[in-house]
Structure 1
Amino acid sequence: MIAPRTLAQRIEEARVAELVSAVVATLKPLYPGVDVRDLPGRIDIADIIAGDVFAPPMIGVTFGRVRQPILVGGSYDLPVDMLAYIVVEETAIGARSVPRETVAHAIGAGLFEILADLDAPRWGLNKIRLPEDAEMRPLVTAKAYAQGVAYYAMSWRQVLLGMGTDPLARPQSVSFETVLDGVVVPVPDDLSEEPV
């Protein structure tokens, strides 16, 4: 049986939010000079075009979708579709100008490398699988391109393990019932006795 929990208790167990924060904390030192931050959700290209909030180069991390496979037993694993938005513009590196697409590809290649590592993509968390199904896509509009911004989205899936309640922690049932001649009757503890 599920027990009531306060909002504070549920916040302590909010593992999806913990995952997003852990990804940001891991990526920040791996990308010096790039603004790495968590986002409240999916962003629209119009937000990028406005230019106030997202100053390139930037990686914005959030989740795109959380699904729960319905299983009997009380515990479950939680697949989380993660998103990292890459926002770039033409950049000066030393004395040369680097096109925005090249900057985006460099940041994306670094994310692929991090996701393929054995330790980094666990983000310092326990009970999490390694990433799978990683891909990067350009998200281009004529207006954003005219303003000199390139906008890409990297996505991958990670599974948070051992969510829910432990089925072994529940009290064991001590009584059983059976149907005898169409009537539900209790099964005695001592099976040598006849059902009542």
Structure 2
Amino acid sequence: MIAARTLPERLAAARLAALPDAMAATLRPLFPDVTVRTHPGRIDVADVVAGDIFQPPMIAVSVIGATAPVQVPGQYDIGAECAAYVVTEEMAIAGRSTRREEVALALCHGLLDILADFQTPRWGLADITSPAEMRAQPLFTALSYQKGFCFYAVTWRQTLFAEGQPMTPPMLTERLETVQDGQPVTLWPGSEGVDA
């Protein structure tokens, strides 16, 4: 039977809740001249147009959904849908004017490189798979572009596995026997006397 947990206990045990902070902490040093932060969910284009929260160039990471298929009774995996929202504007880079979509695509490409790495996108967490179904796509509208912003999203899926508590294993068996040619044969422990 599942036990009651206080809110602090649930926060300590919730690997899904820790995922955005772990992603941002890993990405920050890899994008030293870009603001990398967490965001509580999906970003709407209207949020970007408002311009007070998202100061480009910026990457905002988030968990935007989760599924939890049960593996065996009491044990399950969490399929996390993750996103990194990229917000850019026209910039002077290395002494030349650079279009906002170039900057956005360069940041998206950098994120895809990181997600394809073997170790980095495990975010310092245990029991997590490599990213899958990675995709980068533009999300900006004519209005947000007119306001001077370019808005892309890089999305992917990762699985946090070995969640929950597996059911209690069956009672230990002292001996497992069968009958072969009319004679009892011990199968476990050991398999002496059993034909291959």
Which TM-score applies when normalising by structure 1?
Answer: 0.84
The residue number in structure 2 matching 1:138 is: 138
**What percentage of residue pairs aligned between the two structures are identical?**
48
Give, in whole Å, the separation in 1 of the partners of 2:2 and 2:8: 17
1:52 lines up with 2:47 in the alignment: no
Size of the aligned set, in residue pairs, is 172
**Superposed displacement of residue 114, structure 1:** 0.3
Structure 2 unaligned spans of 5+? 173-196
- Contact conserved, 2:72 with 2:166, CA < 8 A, in 1? no
The residue number in structure 2 matching 1:79 is: 79
Q: Which amino acid aligns with 2:119?
A: D
Give, in whole Å, the separation in 2 of the partners of 1:166 and 1:53: 43
Give a deviation string over 1:92-135, Cα, whole Å, max 9, x none. Answer: 01220010111001101100100011110010000000000000
Give, in whole Å, the separation in 2 of the partners of 1:172 and 1:37: 49
Give, in whole Å, the separation in 2 of the partners of 1:66 and 1:160: 10
Q: Which amino acid aligns with 2:156?
A: W
The residue number in structure 1 matching 2:166 is: 166
- Contact conserved, 2:75 with 2:162, CA < 8 A, in 1? yes
Which TM-score applies when normalising by structure 2?
Answer: 0.84
| Cα root mean square deviation, aligned | 1.5
The residue number in structure 1 matching 2:117 is: 117
**Superposed displacement of residue 72, structure 1:** 3.9
**Superposed displacement of residue 19, structure 1:** 1.0
**Superposed displacement of residue 142, structure 1:** 1.0
The residue number in structure 1 matching 2:128 is: 128
The residue number in structure 1 matching 2:35 is: 35
Structure 1 unaligned spans of 5+? 174-196
**Superposed displacement of residue 91, structure 1:** 0.9
